[in-house]
Structure 1
Amino acid sequence: MKKVIYALILLLVVVSGLVFANHEIKNEASKKPTSKPLSAAERAAELKRWEATPEGIKFKEWKASPEGKKVLDGAAKINKHINDSTNMEAVVTSLSLPPGSRLGFGVMVRMDGDDYILSFGLEKSNEFQQLRSLKVNDKIIIRSRGVSYAPKYSYPIVAGDYIERDSKIIYKRAPNKGGC
């Protein structure tokens, strides 16, 4: 009986040692240096480096083209509303995005005489169910956290965070989990 107890204790000590050793190895691996944010000078240098690449050159040419200037002007026109998080009135012009777009679910809208892509992101569940009730020529109120653009699209891309129709909220983006 004593031999069995000694054997079990010895086994317990060996297993505990292995678990403890494995824990230390995992802690050492997690102490890898994390990348800190780049300084303004480093960011500027990285941007200059990217602008010298073929993609950067194409992007600069697009920004200087009439189509690129139109998109940038449209984005600048609503930037104040986005920065202030104020309401923007829009009219739905199309229930589908331009052909070949990979923005997920979205619609086309017109605000202040310019057309925009109103993008909501990838569909995960039924979160866009109420948005599917939108019709062409519906007047909506939009609040957004950002506007972007890309040479692939002929319109600025507005991120849809809050949509209201007839004084009723039909979509409100859920806040990010685990932080700001």
Structure 2
Amino acid sequence: MSGNKPSPGFTLVELMVTIAVLAILATLATPLFGDLIQKNRIDAIGGELTHLLQYARGEAITRGSAVTVSSSDGNWIGALSVATSSETLRRYGSEGINGSSGVSASGTSTSVTFAPSGTLSGKTTSLTVTLCPSSGTASGRTLHVYGSGQISSSSTACSS
């Protein structure tokens, strides 16, 4: 008897249900994916800014002279320069650190100077820089530079 054997493929109904479930999952995951990308961007920029500050501190100790990191407009991810009294060691143009579009940064000062001992000197006794997304609900990052020259980083809540 040559009966009807079941087909090894999918029925149209099974295929439509699978596509509907995938569409629902994609709709739920898309906003979370955007926040993840924004958080990774903030973490990368925070890491680069921390590295730049550590570089300036290390150069101050190595050279035995004060090194200043300054932000021309108070935006700590925009145009930055690292300089001694006689030469510029590094400079970031207006494009900023790590293609920093979509991220805003504000600091408690527009410059910070490391003494030859690696501690902060001058008018600024500490520096706090807060990095937040320009839009969205991702958390931000706060960098702290203490008077001792130590640099730390922590997560912070940002209001959009």
Q: How would you bin the TM-score normalised by the shorter chain?
A: under 0.3
Which structure dedicates a bigger proportion of its chain to helix? 1
Q: Which has the larger radius of gyration?
A: 1
Kindly indicate whether structure 1 or structure 2 has the higher relative contact order, using CA contacts under 8 Å at least 6 residues apart.
2
TM-score w.r.t. structure 2 length?
Answer: 0.26
